[in-house]
Structure 1
Amino acid sequence: MHTIYMGILSIILLASTLFSGELMEKSMQETELETIANIYERNNITITDWSLYTKAPQLESATFNEDLLRIQQAAEAFTWTVEKNHDVTKAVGVYVHPSTHSITETIQIVQENHSKKSYVFYEMKGSKWTSQIWRDFQTIFHNRKIDIFQENTTNFSCMKGIQSGNMKSVLKNNANRLLKEFQAQPVEMLDEETLLSISAYTEMWKQTIPTKNNKQMNLQLALRAQEGGDIVVVAGTPILTIEY
């Protein structure tokens, strides 16, 4: 009996160790934004903007006003406005963090008036990036998302930066270097004189969406040459949510 007990105890301890190791590994994994930020740093790209964005249909059990009241109560510090036209009714809540005015949270609840279908959008965006800022605010984003949506939703991560360069060939060279950093293969490309836009697939991230040609993608890159020599670089997963 003692031998059987010790055997069961050993299995439990082994399972606990493996599970703890798995949790530790997950906690140590980089988020998508951290991965992009680290790649930007290695390629001398100065970060100017970043964004986390998510959305979901309104809860079926709630009306527009009920959802608005619930979310307003969960986001009391936000300043709210409500607009209505022939097509949609929109409530927008905005909160600029007083500790760092570079970070803004925005919640939008949009109802199609003819169908009464509603959608909720939540975005956190910033103009400064440090590891400490990210550690502080990724928890805020996660908790706010749970309060708003009460379910798991897909995140859209996007980052914009500036890189030096003054020739069209530099766009392609830089794009190829970034694709290699992301371990990505291009699936679609738009190549213009001062703009290079690429949709690609990387195994670094599991989340994917289909392209128009029904290929899977989970990374978008856009490089635009500006007057004066700088290059605007925007990277996002699974798609871009920042203008370039």
Structure 2
Amino acid sequence: AREEVKAVTDQKTFYSQAKSIKSNFRGFKWEVKRERDLWKAIGTRKSKDVNEVILLTYAIDEHSNAYISYHVTGQGLKEKNMTHFQNVFQTNYEKIFLSEPIIFSCATGEINDKMESVLSVEIQDLLRAFNAKPVESLVEESFTSVSAYTGLWKEALQTKKQEMNLQIALRKTRMGGQTTIVVGTPIITSEY
């Protein structure tokens, strides 16, 4: 989840906001650093089932935008530990955000492929599963990416052609090996 932080307008207000967030999330390990024209306050916490990152960024440029984001990841999540995962997310979500931030969701997985046409077959299966219509696509020998639109979600981004709110990417790692699948909504932000 991510939202703009309008209260951060310079380095002083960035440090003030970072200090406030750090005091509200003492169970996180914090680091503040600068990478060229980008200031970052990064808080991380790892547990058995869930990894969390709170990130406050301030870009020193003509726009001087600041954002706060909250990333929650887990592997092999089963139905029995989804309640714990949801509780962790909801509790921190309500403490971090002031309004309704943009929420990005992403699922990553792998399949063993024995078929040569696995990329196009899997893409079509996923599009049907999400009741989505393709908007744009990129097809290469070992990589396929499709931007699509589904009516399952309210949020969408405008492309040159039309709205999209789902991205699906498949990458075949080697002959007879694994195929990595990434599904993101509204977009895949950093996984590929």
Match of 2:57 in 1: 110
- The structure 2 residue matched to 1:92, chosen from 39, 42, 46, is 42
Match of 2:20 in 1: 70
CA contact (8 A) 1:159 1:242 kept: no
**1:85, distance to aligned residue in structure 2 (A):** 4.4
**1:140, distance to aligned residue in structure 2 (A):** 1.7
**What SS does structure 1 have at the residue aligned with 2:120?**
helix
CA contact (8 A) 1:161 1:233 kept: yes
**What SS does structure 2 have at the residue aligned with 1:155?**
coil
TM-score (norm 2): 0.89
- The structure 1 residue matched to 2:105, chosen from 129, 154, 157, is 157
Match of 1:11 in 2: none
CA contact (8 A) 1:94 1:104 kept: yes
CA contact (8 A) 1:168 1:225 kept: no
Match of 1:221 in 2: 168
Match of 2:188 in 1: 240
Once residues 110 and 50 of structure 2 are traced to their aligned partners in structure 1, the CA distance between those partners, rounded to angstroms, is 19
Match of 2:89 in 1: 141
Is 1:186 paired with 2:134? yes
Bigger Rg, structure 1 or 2: 1
Q: For 1:200-215, list aligned pairs within 5 A.
A: 200-211=148-159, 213-215=160-162
Once residues 86 and 164 of structure 1 are traced to their aligned partners in structure 2, the CA distance between those partners, rounded to angstroms, is 41
Q: Which protein, 1 or 2, shows the higher relative CO under an 8 Å CA cutoff with sep ≥ 6? A: 1
Aligned residues: 187
**1:127, distance to aligned residue in structure 2 (A):** 1.8
TM-score (norm 1): 0.71
| Equivalent residue letter for 2:30 | W
**1:235, distance to aligned residue in structure 2 (A):** 0.6
Once residues 196 and 82 of structure 1 are traced to their aligned partners in structure 2, the CA distance between those partners, rounded to angstroms, is 37
**1:71, distance to aligned residue in structure 2 (A):** 1.1
CA contact (8 A) 2:8 2:17 kept: no
Once residues 117 and 181 of structure 2 are traced to their aligned partners in structure 1, the CA distance between those partners, rounded to angstroms, is 15
Once residues 157 and 142 of structure 1 are traced to their aligned partners in structure 2, the CA distance between those partners, rounded to angstroms, is 14
**1:241, distance to aligned residue in structure 2 (A):** 3.2
Q: More helix per residue: 1 or 2?
A: 1
Once residues 165 and 128 of structure 1 are traced to their aligned partners in structure 2, the CA distance between those partners, rounded to angstroms, is 20
| Equivalent residue letter for 2:103 | N
CA contact (8 A) 2:135 2:161 kept: no
Runs of 5+ unmatched residues, structure 2: none
CA contact (8 A) 1:160 1:242 kept: no
